[in-house]
Chain A
Amino acid sequence: MSEQKLQSQTVQTTGHAWDGDLQEYNNPLPVWWVYTFYVTVVFAIVYWTIYPSWPFGKGWIGGLSNITYVNSAGETKTHSWNTRALLMENLNKAAAEQKPYFDKIEAMSYAQIAKDPDMNGFILSAGKALFSDNCAPCHQAGGQGKIGFFPNLTDDDWLYGGTYDKIHETITGGRHGYMPTFGEVLSAEQIDQLANYVASLSGIGHDAAKAAAGNTLFHSETAACYYCHGADAKGRKEIGSANLTDNIWLWANVPGAATAEGKVAAIRGVITSGLNKGVMPTWGGRLSPEQIKVLTVYVHELGGGQ
């Protein structure tokens, strides 16, 4: 019986013959395929009513699904479904979820924030995101900075001070490090003497005689280095002048030089040409006060603060 059925199915044709004997099979579509097709038709109609679908006049049919969001200008907008609006809606939601934390941050003092384990977790994640978005381009992802360009935030040396207030001040108002050019004021020999003296302060290999001469020069009115770096050469935080006695180098790439001569040469370079590139922009208007507060605690934790 099934053989017969098979037979009858195999010879089913459209009923038309071309060229005398050329016929076309008329095999039905599989039932599951047909039903799946009907289901997709229904799905499409439902989809059209919910989401934007057809062009209509100068616009399009928006569908029933609307998204309401608050844009960056603070205006509430309602729009038919689109991924941009969806993103805005999700950002609104995320901001709403973060709000309790930021509210708490605003109300708490730095000392309180630092001791609160919950806040600590929030600072580590939110701070990292803020740091990556705003600070990392210069200070690098981990805050390690770049010698010759941007200060390392993970060490224990702070040009302008490492207290919460000082860090806050730095982020809010920005900084501009400056050192005059001595290449035209001093002779090459004098600069060499100064460089040897500065090297001696950090225990780097140097010429003792030149260093002694440099010491005199450092404290003399000719070079007047002590005006900014202080008589003890430890720098002055109120103007951001560098501590020359420690092992931290920002402008002269001393750690990168292999030989003692190289290290002295690096110091000589900075003295000769001075620097006018230590600019950190102002973040006061760009980030909200709470965001700056989060960043302050985050940066403070990077290097252990003061």
Chain B
Amino acid sequence: MQTGLEEQLGLYQKRIPIFTRSVKGKFRRFKTTVLVLAYAIFFLLPWLPWSRPDAPAQAVLFDLPGRRFLIFGLTVYPQDVVWLALLLFIAAILLFFVTGLVGRAFCGYFCFQTLWTDFFIWIEHKIQGERPARVRLYRQPWNREKLLKVGSTHVLWVLASFWTGMTFVAYFTYAPQLVVDFVTGQAASAAYITVSALTISTYAAAGLMREQICTYVCPYGRFQSVMYEPETLAVHYDAKRGEAAHGRATVRAGRGIVVERRRAESAEPVAVDRRQTRLSAGERALAERHEKGLGDCVDCGLCVQVCPAGIDIRDGLQYKCISCGLCIDACNTIMDSFGFPRGLIRYDSEKNLASPNPTAPKLQWKRLKTIGYGVALILMSAYLVYSISTRGSYDRVVNQIRQPLYVVLSNGDIRNRYQVHITNKAAQDQTYVISASGIPAAALDLGNFREITIKPGHSGLVQASVRLAPELAEHTHRFELVITPRGKPGEARSETVRFDSPKEQHE
């Protein structure tokens, strides 16, 4: 069953803890930017005020008891559930689209598991130090220092987890009130349960389980592999260049390169001629290696040390890789320091890597699948925007009463009854006037409610009955009930309803 070069895991193998080395580079910078932005939005959004006449002044509030979502100026009611369906559809298609183009970009840069793990590692790094220090701490017996450092790391993790849970709950109730209630023991039991569950799960997932979530728990990471195509850009190790004929080899000290690098670093900025010599030194070394049939990989192991999934990218594309690009940063740093060309590990496609004449990696979107996903994405997003922007200020449902379908009255007239259900989605009270077209005006009887005033977010029910003489009833099979919001004739909507009579029944 061995399918790749990666190590086969024993079923009962104990997890080997991963201590990632920090690294600098454009992917690290991108990841940090995403992290800061995502955290800023997630943690601050519940605190953004937004004045509303009839609801708490919170910009984003998922008001479950009130059966509505308040999102800035938009109020979403349960009737708008199709938007949620669209949103989920768009999210799924976006995932397919992006994965087909650039692999597991979601996993590597945007997934909350990745973000929180990254943040937790950052805390760990700040307290316990760089990788060697953390490995040393891990191996040393429990003493005061270890207790203090590891203990404070876990305390901070729990605090971060707790605030994550609190923030999540703050989206469902007025945030400032929640914090006060939570501390004084007045908050709803659902709040305590949710905060505890999220604290525990965040702490466990981002602090303890980390890459195991991606490897063993998460289904998305696994099914994204079927979206890869030969043209998909993914984080790859250029094995041809790195291994050459005789494999990797470390750079031995005393060849001048390492010494040169150290000097160059201490004398930043490097003068142009110095840089020139360094480059030429790198070129010289490279030429020497190529002569011996050695690859460009200097086997420094940095790409493995920085990997949050604990894998060796040089073993090839593998399911554990979350495509975060940190190994690219690591490798580029090393290549730079030796004066070797960058991109030994890079975003590239399997097809390009396998071709005899590889070109510079580029985004290849001219594929049926990608274009199909793209079109679906655009259509669905456009429909969602259209649907939100053209939503009416009210919903209406007209039901004919079916028990009985019709009633014969004492003078032989036929009567049908209807229930008109109106939901006011506007922000203020609204009066609705109901009329009929296709039947004589006198035939419509609305009882005591010729018009009905409904509070925002509420529904109202009007009973309507229509009475027609037998001759007329015989020819009336359908008519229209017109609902007009008072003062907004442009928003009048008509609903076609059936009219049943005994003659129709016999047909």
Chain A positions near chain B (C-beta within 8 angstroms): 2, 5-6, 9, 27-28, 30-31, 114-115, 117, 120-121, 124, 140-144, 152, 154-157, 243, 246-248, 255, 301, 303-304
What's the minimum C-beta distance from B312 to chain A, rounded to whole angstroms? Answer: 13
Knowing A121-B461, A301-B463 touch, does A115 contact B407 (C-beta < 8 A)? no
Known: A30-B11, A154-B415. 18 other contacts (CB 8 A): A2-B9, A27-B12, A28-B12, A30-B12, A31-B12, A117-B460, A120-B461, A142-B403, A142-B404, A143-B403, A144-B407, A152-B407, A154-B407, A155-B409, A255-B408, A301-B447, A301-B463, A304-B447
Task: Out of B10, B410, B415, B417, name the residue touching A2 (CB < 8 Å).
Answer: B10
What's the minimum C-beta distance from A259 to chain B, rounded to whole angstroms? Answer: 14
For A120, what are the chain B residues with a Cβ–Cβ distance below 8 Å?
A: 448-449, 461
Knowing A124-B463, A142-B402 touch, does A156 contact B453 (C-beta < 8 A)? no
CA distance A154 to B408 in the complex (A): 9
CA distance A31 to B208 in the complex (A): 14
What's the minimum C-beta distance from B369 to chain A, rounded to whole angstroms? Answer: 36
For B411, what are the chain A residues with a Cβ–Cβ distance below 8 Å?
A: 246-247
A157 touches B410 (CB 8 A): yes
For A301, what are the chain B residues with a Cβ–Cβ distance below 8 Å?
A: 447, 463
A9 touches B408 (CB 8 A): no
B299 touches A (CB below 8 Å): no
A247 touches B407 (CB 8 A): no
- Contact residue range for chain B? 20 to 34
Interface core residue of B8, B408, B417, B502 (most chain A CB under 10 Å): B408
CA distance A156 to B465 in the complex (A): 12
B412 touches A (CB below 8 Å): yes
CA distance A115 to B8 in the complex (A): 77
B445 touches A (CB below 8 Å): yes
CA distance A144 to B500 in the complex (A): 15
What's the minimum C-beta distance from A90 to chain B, rounded to whole angstroms? Answer: 17
Chain A residue at minimal CB-CB distance from B463: A301
For B401, what are the chain A residues with a Cβ–Cβ distance below 8 Å?
A: 142
B452 touches A (CB below 8 Å): yes
30 A-B residue pairs with CB within 8 Å:
A2-B9, A2-B10, A2-B13, A5-B10, A5-B13, A6-B8, A6-B10, A30-B12, A114-B448, A117-B453, A117-B460, A120-B448, A120-B449, A121-B461, A124-B461, A124-B463, A142-B402, A143-B403, A144-B407, A154-B417, A155-B408, A156-B410, A157-B410, A246-B411, A247-B410, A248-B409, A255-B502, A301-B447, A303-B407, A304-B465
Chain B residue at minimal CB-CB distance from A7: B10
For B463, what are the chain A residues with a Cβ–Cβ distance below 8 Å?
A: 124, 301
A247 touches B13 (CB 8 A): no
B265 touches A (CB below 8 Å): no
Nearest 6 interchain pairs by C-beta: A142-B403, A246-B410, A144-B404, A247-B412, A157-B410, A154-B407
For B409, what are the chain A residues with a Cβ–Cβ distance below 8 Å?
A: 155-157, 247-248
CA distance A5 to B411 in the complex (A): 95
Task: Out of B9, B408, B452, name the residue touching A247 (CB < 8 Å).
Answer: B408
What's the minimum C-beta distance from B161 to chain A, rounded to whole angstroms? Answer: 18
Chain B residue at minimal CB-CB distance from A154: B407
Knowing A5-B13, A247-B411, A304-B445 touch, does A117 contact B452 (C-beta < 8 A)? yes
For A121, what are the chain B residues with a Cβ–Cβ distance below 8 Å?
A: 460-461
Task: Out of A140, A144, A243, A255, name the residue touching B410 (CB < 8 Å).
Answer: A243
For A115, what are the chain B residues with a Cβ–Cβ distance below 8 Å?
A: 448
What's the minimum C-beta distance from A41 to chain B, rounded to whole angstroms? Answer: 18
Chain B residue at minimal CB-CB distance from A5: B10
For A27, what are the chain B residues with a Cβ–Cβ distance below 8 Å?
A: 11-12
